[in-house]
Structure 1
Amino acid sequence: MTDRRTLIRAGGLLATGMAVATATSGPARAASPTAALPLLSWHAALANRRYAPAVVAVLGSSSSEGVGATGPGRGYVPVLAETLRAAFPVAGVAGGDNYVAAWGTPRWWPVTMSGGAVRSKTAGWGLKAVDLVAAGQSLTLTFTGTSVHVWYSAVPAGGAFSVSVDGAVVAAISTAGTGDAASWRSGPLAPGRHTIVVTAAGGGPVRVHGFATFDADEDRGVQVYNGGHGGRTSGDFAEGAAAWAPRLRSMQPHLVILQLGVNDWRSGVPAAVMRQNLQKIIAVVRANTTTEPSFVVYGPPRVGADHRVQDFAHFTEAWREVAAEDTGGPGGGSGVAWFDLAARQLSPSSDNRLGLYCEDLVHMTDQGAAFTADALTALVRP
């Protein structure tokens, strides 16, 4: 009889049009609906995209952040947003960047930090925030869109910041209060290019998470919120859930992609621990959303040219098991699909002749990021 693990994998791969071999002999048996529909919540939201946002949230490490790409917008997450919007358009909706962390790494994130602002790993979506600790320190983002939100922390001893849009000061915000889900919203802006600057006004520290930008997709279309953070492990997100989970209330995702585990493998974290951490993260997301989201667990091919004590195959099995063992989806079946990227490409540690990975054999090139975005689109489309 076909086991539950095989059914979950079949549920994911059938969505891509790939043939799936099972252990069943004789005539093919249909998978039970609960085992074959881990993406049902996402598909339902996507069907409603003309009337409400279909929201994707990503938690991941450097590949999600875009390390390896030649510039902003070329990592697999922004290309995924592009491919999903092209595959499932909504008339009159271009779609904004949706989330740009304040953490200024210009090669991959188009935010400029000035005046000695300090990066923080203890707040914000993706565990990325910036502390403005002195008056005059600022963050600048230029974007194309029709509105923008500033996400920040409210703290009892908080200070204040000003917001300027296109050179004009439009708001003065006090951050005194409590909670890691505070935000300032611009209201409608004329379509086109805009520059927003957040400047600390003094009186106490200001912790800014990032900018949510929209381009006619405030209340419909596909939204994608990138929480990639280079070097992070599954344990960082599992143990730091109190820092990023509040932002789920701002996003209310219908699909959550978890690109985590490679750094666990590279740093010696046991595969069983990584699996438990992913299960904890999934539970946290479910507890902080009202959308009953679907999940994708991202399993890459073996990367890196070095040799580790742990067999990478243990991690591949652990990613698969997270999907197979889940019971939080429709009808008590799995709500988690397994993205088996290794089934679609060769391991860069053995063959990178197609140039999908950089010279470090860990991070994706522009081509590799687009390849991954296309594969993910094939997986998650109805």
Structure 2
Amino acid sequence: MAKKLISLDDAQPAGSRLPAAVRTDLNATYAPVSVAEDVESAVASVAGKRGPVLADQPARRLFDKVLLNVGTRPIVGVGLGASTWEGSQADPNRQMSVLLEKMLQASYNPPGITGGYTTKVRNSTAWVKAGSTSGIDDRDMKKVQVLNTGATATHQSWQDCTGIDIYYPAGPDVGAWTITIDGGAPVTITPTGAESFVGVWRSPVLARGKHTFVITATGDNAQISNAYIRDQDERAGVRLLNFGRAGGGTTQFLNSLADSTWARINAIVPDFAVVSLGHNNIGATTTEQLKADLGTICDRLQTAAGRPIWIAVVVQHSTDSRWPPYAQATEEFAASRSDVCTVHSFREYFVDNTAAAPATGDFYTDNLHLNNQGHQIAAHVLADSMRLPTQRTWPVTPATEALPSTSPSAPDITSDLLTQFTFDLGVADGASVASVTPVAGTRGHALADNTTVAKQPTFKANAANGHGALKFTRANSQYLRYAPSAGIALNTMPATVVMVGRRGIADAASGMFVQGGVDGSDSVTKALTIEAEASTFAFRGGSPTGGNVSGGTADTGWHVVVFVADGANSRLHIDGNVFTGTINNTDGRSALGRMTVGANIAATANYLEGEILEIREYDRALTSEQVAYLRTQLQARYGLT
């Protein structure tokens, strides 16, 4: 039965809620195919469920009280959550946290004050980076953008705005940076020598319009966390700052690495909070520990505010069958603290299993994280549960201003993808792996040329964020590769090889993660390689006779390594760091014909001690922007920093 599509961004009249008829249509429109009324095999456990909306929300009155000041000062909220709250797999201006921020502003900002939006500078779509960049773990919950000398981060505002607030840490090792607006004179910010996490630089009030902001590092290790793009709300209106952390459970918001986050929250003195945690507690803590941790977080938020404040506790969706008891525990906690907490769930609006997820159109390809559509639905459900007067998600003021439907186009990481291997194999943990086929839709052959069981890698279950990996043991000379007859002329330079993996031991021995050969032979003359560096570096990308590029410091952590072989413009990207060099491999012969994983092309040496989560090969040189975008996608998929 056909469903009438509606726009989630349709502006609602001021002072009104989303009409019941529209809400019913919304639910029907975005119900999964399996529960559509014309499908007899409807999943009754999903159809008809509604989020648990409290009939009475006494804690909500705390927010109503603070709103008495909305015309005289900014009302600032903080949002704590994991990857879904942070916005993984959604455009920056379609993340539920930003949409909820816009609906709060549309509901409560004084007339004529549209309100701005929050961005994380580490978000590669919101802020385009160039030069040497990376990120660090122990400041602002992994979300500090590090810029080394000459590196830049650029943001083009998506709506008319009147300024920017930039949040940054300081310390004896933190470098200086400049900010330019619309190509004007740079303003230099030199962080103080004492360690601090509460620095903020505020621009003068600008003429309202679209503006371009460029941050440039004038020394190594310049560090930036969040930015708030202002729109007429310098002295009034509502803001919701995103403190999300991909992969974070309650433990990660309470251990020593969270000290910087709490320092910032304490400095902000929040007026309200949103807490969306618990999903990453699955398998890590008990449900009782989850409730205890939520209690501690709630207490810390009250302490930071210096008074009782409203805390909206969010229960997210999940396609993990282990989630229901954790979701229930979250609801029970909120009910136990009804003096300051309300509970808001959007899990009932989404399917609860990976098999049904693709047909709904609400999920990213991992069938776990929500895409733009999923985030929009979740934001509207939260707003309705919170009883916000209006559910306009993006301002249309003045009336002639076009509504941005998406952020700037995402960089292209799909075209010319020749072959891709992932290792969610569905076999027992520790089982020998004799064959792996490429991801559907890509070229290449099965990695299968190894009949000696002892020399086959093993499967490691739940290696990273629930995904499997191939584990290679050097002492057993383990590897997989194309059969000799399977070699095909996949591509010539320029080319890009991608590997997500880690060493098992940070010693001086070289180990090949992946090596591509030539024309079906064992020749390595023009092969392209990503290996664990044999001497002082972490990784090396190269061609045995055509040069190489090395970088990083050897460790046993997970890394996203991208080797771009493009003559004098060759690059080795290790996470957010870039190393340059020249690869002389331009005679037109195949660079990645035959592939060996875990050893050299002939499978006779350079055996790997380590694990691999994913391998890709492209028939072109990815740009730095495309590499950065791909890295963020892979880091989100595997829960990496």
User: TM-score scaled to structure 1, two decimals?
Assistant: 0.79
CA shift at 1:349, angstroms?
A: 4.6
Q: What does 1:289-308 correspond to in 2, within 5 Å?
A: 289-290=305-306, 292-304=308-320
Write the distance in 1 (CA, Å) between the matches of 2:221 and 2:135.
13
Q: Which residue of 2 aligns with 1:180?
A: 197
Report the counterpart of residue 194 of structure 1 in structure 2.
Answer: 211
Please report how far the alpha carbon of residue 253 of structure 1 lies from its aligned counterpart in structure 2 after TM superposition: 2.5
Deviation, structure 1 residue 182 = 0.8
Alignment-mate amino acid for residue 75 of structure 1: Q
Q: Give the match for residue 19 of structure 1.
A: none
Secondary structure of 1:145's match? coil
Return the structure number with greater relative CO, CA threshold 8 A, min gap 6.
1
**Higher alpha-carbon deviation: 352-361 or 312-321:** 352-361
**Mapping for residues 126-141 of structure 1, pairs under 5 Å:** 127-132=142-147, 134-141=148-155
1:105 aligned onto 2:150: no
Structure-2 residue corresponding to 1:322: 333
**Structure 1 residues 250, 195: closer, same or farther in 2, change over 3 A?**
farther
Aligned to 2:62: 41
Q: Which residue of 1 aligns with 2:85?
A: 64
Q: Over residues 326-346 of structure 1, what are the superposed CA-to-partner deviations in whole Å (9 max), with x where a residue is unaligned?
A: 3xxxxxx62111113235555
Among residues 137, 148, 153, which one is paired with 2:169 in the alignment?
153
Indicate if the aligned counterparts of 2:313 and 2:343 stay in contact, CA closer than 8 A: yes
Which residue is equivalent to 1:378? 384
What do residues 96-148 of structure 1 show as CA deviations (whole Å, max 9, x unaligned)? 11x21121332xxx012221111123212x5410223x321222222241111
Deviation digits for residues 147-175 of structure 1 (CA, Å, limit 9, x no counterpart): 11221111134332122111123421211
CA contact (8 A) 2:176 2:222 kept: yes
TM-score (norm 2): 0.49
Q: Which amino acid aligns with 2:279?
A: V
Displacement of 1:351 after TM fit? 4.7
For 1:293 and 1:346, how far apart are their aligned partners in 2?
33
Query: For 2:175 and 2:355, how far apart are their aligned partners in 1?
Result: 52
Work out whether residues 238 and 278 of structure 1, in 8 Å CA contact, stay in contact via their aligned partners in 2: no
Q: Is the 8 A contact 1:357 1:364 kept in 2?
A: yes
Give yes or no for contact 1:157–1:176 (8 Å, CA) kept in 2. Answer: no
Give the counterpart of 2:100 among 70, 80, 84.
80
Give the secondary structure class of the aligned counterpart of 1:196: strand
Q: Distance in 1 between matches of 2:83 and 2:307?
A: 27
Q: What SS does the corresponding residue of 2:212 show, helix, strand or coil?
A: strand
Kept after mapping to 1: 8 A contact 2:345/2:382: no
CA contact (8 A) 2:270 2:304 kept: no
For the Cα contact (< 8 Å) 1:234–1:264, is it kept in 2? yes
CA distance in 2, matches of 1:272, 1:129: 32
**In structure 2, how many angstroms separate the alpha carbons of the residues matched to 1:162 and 1:359?**
38
- Give per-residue Cα distances to partners, 1:194-224, cap 9 Å, x unaligned: 122222222x532211212210112212212
Q: Aligned AA for 1:74?
A: R
Structure 2 counterparts to residues 162-173 of structure 1, below 5 A: 162-173=178-189
Q: C-alpha distance in 1, partners of 2:349/2:296?
A: 28
Check 1:47–1:348 CA distance in 2 against 1; reply closer, same or farther (3 A cut): farther
Instruction: Describe the shift of the 1:95–1:348 C-alpha distance in structure 2 as closer, same or farther (beyond 3 A).
Output: farther
Q: Out of 109, 116, 123, which is 1:96 matched to?
A: 116
Distance 2:294 2:271 in 1: 17
Q: Which residue of 2 aligns with 1:355?
A: 361
**Unaligned 5+ residue runs, structure 1?**
1-9, 16-35, 327-332
In structure 1, what is the equivalent of residue 281 of structure 2? 264
Tell me the amino acid that sits aligned with residue 49 of structure 1: V
Aligned length: 333
Name whichever of 337-346 and 227-236 sits farther off. 337-346
Which has the larger displacement, 358-367 or 140-149?
Answer: 358-367
Find the counterpart in structure 2 of residue 334 from structure 1: 339
In the aligned structure 2, how far is the partner of 1:377 from the partner of 1:323? 18
Task: Note the alpha carbon deviations across 1:18-67, whole angstroms, 9 max, x for none.
Answer: xxxxxxxxxxxxxxxxxx41222212223442333333321111111222
Query: Quick one: distance in 2 between partners of 1:48 and 1:208?
Result: 30
Following superposition, the deviation at residue 319 of structure 1 comes to 0.2
Q: Which moved more, 1:255-264 or 1:339-348?
A: 339-348
Percent identity over the alignment is 23
Secondary structure of the equivalent of 2:273? strand
Distance 1:191 1:118, change over 3 A: same
Q: Which has the larger radius of gyration?
A: 2
Is 1:274 paired with 2:290? yes
| 8 Å Cα contact 2:77-2:270 kept in structure 1 | yes
State the 1:273 CA deviation.
2.3
Instruction: Return the alpha-carbon distance in structure 2 between the equivalents of residues 79 and 171 of structure 1.
Output: 31
* 2:576 match: none
CA contact (8 A) 1:151 1:183 kept: yes
Structure 2 residues not aligned, in runs of 5+: 1-50, 389-641
Asked whether the equivalents of residues 147 and 189 of structure 1 are also in contact (C-alpha less than 8 Å), the reply is yes
User: How many Å apart are 1:379 and its aligned residue?
Assistant: 2.2
